[in-house]
Amino acid sequence: MDDHIRSTVRRSLQLRHVDCGSCNGCESELALVFSPRYDGQRHGIDMVASPRHADAITVSGPVTVQMQAALARTYDAMGQPRGVIALGDCAIDGHVHASGYASGTGVQSQLPVDLKIPGCPPPPDAILRALTSFMGR
Amino acid sequence: MTRLTRVRDASPSRRPQALRALAAQGDAYAMGLCQRSGRGIELVDLFYRPGSPLAPHAVRTAVPPECTEVPSAVAALPRVHWDEREIRDLFGLSFAGHPDDRRLLLPDPRRTAIFSPRPVPPWHPRVLKQRDAVHVPVGPVHAGIIESGQFHFSIMGETVLQMDARLFWNHRGIEAALEGLGVDEAVTRVERICASCTVSHQAALAMAVESLAGLRPPARTEAVRLVLLELERLASHLNDLAQLAAGAALQVLLMQGMALRERLLAVQHRHFGHRYLFGTIRPAVPAPTFDAAGLAADLGPLLEEAAAWMERLFAHQGFRDRLTGVGRLSPEQVTALGGVGPAARATGIAADLRRDLPYGFYPGLVSEPAVRTAGDAMARAEVRQLEVLESWRLVREVLAELDSLPDRASAVDAEPLDGAATGYSESPRGASFHYVRMRAGRITRYHVRSASFANWPLVMVASADNPIGDFPLINKSFELCYACCDR
């Protein structure tokens, strides 16, 4: 299934974003992917307003305890094939917020991850490069 | 110096009176927290006196181990409502007479309080049950690229009768995770509480630790910190105004604002090595060296364009129509709930820590805070517009004299740090306070009262009596951080 999602998003990649305890840095950089300098839409990449319309979810943050259920329900609401993108160091392994009673160690402790975009936060050009390369471009 | 020296003790039953008395004599409430002390716990309520160089002072209330309930101070000082609810979640201490017995920080009842096993009732939304009222829950996952939060609207027709919010989805337990760490390990976590307000958090941590160490940074370091704090305000306010353009469906102005923000982040990266200025302020470490004239030259044309962009935005009649009268707050509401920053200044309250509790390089440089009186979304936008221009003036003036200022590495105290101190700064969203208690160089309690924590209750009040369709715009007019609030 992991390979399958890549083969279905060659021309367009529709994303839904789930913040799971981010400091908002990853959100800020992801938002700038769709600003004039980077213009993600010209690559067929865009954000959609429902997980049912999404090819993949971008997840930021270490996955806090409070967000575990919401993340699972967002994933369950997606059609198949579906992809999971860990956006930023927190989503990859929890980074500096990995410890504690309320925090987590990243997305892969809960969902299969198809793409990791490292950085704290990853700048828009790195996000765009990772997404287009995921699309096989 | 902000080491806590002026501490007065109060018994649990006298605490409400003590807080009321301080507020009545004009002292401003900074934050309330709880910490372990001996076998029991103690409440610490911090105040400061606007216009005075005195450090924040505190009321300390010892709570013996067998005590599970103390009188709430909400009736005496309403703004402690969230502080007390947070303490109840974390320490299991009940506040008798608190009007809201629901959880705040840890809404899931399966999560026990971390510092104490005493149970706390679970969270549930407050929804109006009257006939024809409809409950509209939204979130925590949203359609755009925003942080996680959940809103419960009780509406009749289009009108919001009442809004209740469940926040703290992004609660990472950062304060507890800091315990046991040294300063160097704490810095990387504290600066990542929130990317939008990271400089204000870095500066507050540095102020607290330097107070404990008994040292004052050299003039150039203080000056660079001012530049960094004001750059953060510029980036934040430009983003907030661009988001308001989006809220008013003005796509071209949104994209122009985003382009300006991108350019500013790139300039910050070029001169300080990080787009969001992570790692730029370190306690007792001289500020980074950079080309001050080069930074001024990069910022000049950018800010000129930003000023022109703001002119176009505010001259747009559609923008003005869309924001005027929306999400109105009165100064009485803001004062009661303890609101801070542009949201307070938009109701005529001239509160700004840069002037009220002068710190770092600010004394003598800041002018009167920008104030508007309408208290609506338009007023909050206008305050930001004025503050962008003022921040740029401060940055320009300080950069011009930066290279003439002395800078030498401060002698770091060889003694391990001991004691309690506060740090603070006027973040883009308002007054932000940090509290640190250390023993033998290790943190034993850390608490952050961010501007967003202070202001979220305002959003709920401001949303009532407005059409539900205006909520995104009202929310954007505050543009609060969830990460700062949730920690």
**Blockwise average pLDDT, block size 10, chain B, 487 residues:** 78 94 91 91 92 80 90 95 91 90 73 56 83 90 90 94 93 93 94 96 95 90 96 96 95 96 97 96 91 96 97 96 96 94 96 91 91 96 97 96 80 75 95 94 95 95 95 94 93
Q: What whole-number percentage of chain B has pLDDT above 90?
A: 76
ipTM: 0.93
A101 and B173 in contact by Cβ < 8 A?
yes
Residue A40 and residue A13: Cα distance in Å, rounded? 10
pLDDT of residue A1: 45
pLDDT of residue B109: 53
| pLDDT tens profile B345-362 | 999 999 999 999 889 999
Structure tokens at B487: 């920690």
Query: Please, what's the b/e burial string for B248-279 (b: 16 or more CB within 10 A of its CB; e: otherwise)?
Result: bebeebbbbbbbbbbbbbebbeebbebbbbbb
pLDDT of residue B252: 96
CA nearest neighbour of A95 among A25, A29, A2:
A25
Structure tokens at A128: 């765009």
pLDDT of residue A58: 97
pLDDT of residue B358: 87
Sign, CA torsion B191/B195/B199/B201: negative
A24 and B482 in contact by Cβ < 8 A?
yes
CA nearest neighbour of A27 among A36, A39, A35, A18:
A18
Asked if A72 is an interface residue toward chain B (Cβ–Cβ < 8 A), one would say no
**For domain B174-486, which CATH number applies: 3.40.630.90, 3.10.129.10, 3.40.190.290, 1.10.645.10?**
1.10.645.10
At the second CATH level, the architecture of B7-96 is: 2-Layer Sandwich (3.30)
B145 and A17 in contact by Cβ < 8 A?
yes
| pLDDT tens profile A81-100 | 999 999 999 999 999 999 88
Domain locations along chain B: 7-96, 134-166, 174-486
Answer whether residue A75 shows pLDDT above 90. Answer: yes
Number of domains in chain A: 1
Confirm if B206 and B228 have CB atoms less than 8 A apart. no
Asked if A118 is an interface residue toward chain B (Cβ–Cβ < 8 A), one would say no
B259: nearest CB among A36, A49, A70: A36
Q: Which residue of A has its CA nearest to B186?
A: A96
CATH number assigned to the domain comprising residue A68: 3.40.50.12280
pLDDT of residue B62: 93
Q: Which of A15, A24, A90 to mutate to test the interface with B (most CBs of B within 10 A)?
A: A24
Q: How many Å lie between the alpha carbon of B24 and the closest alpha carbon of chain A?
A: 37
Query: Containing domain of residue A60, as a range?
Result: 2-134
pLDDT of residue B223: 96
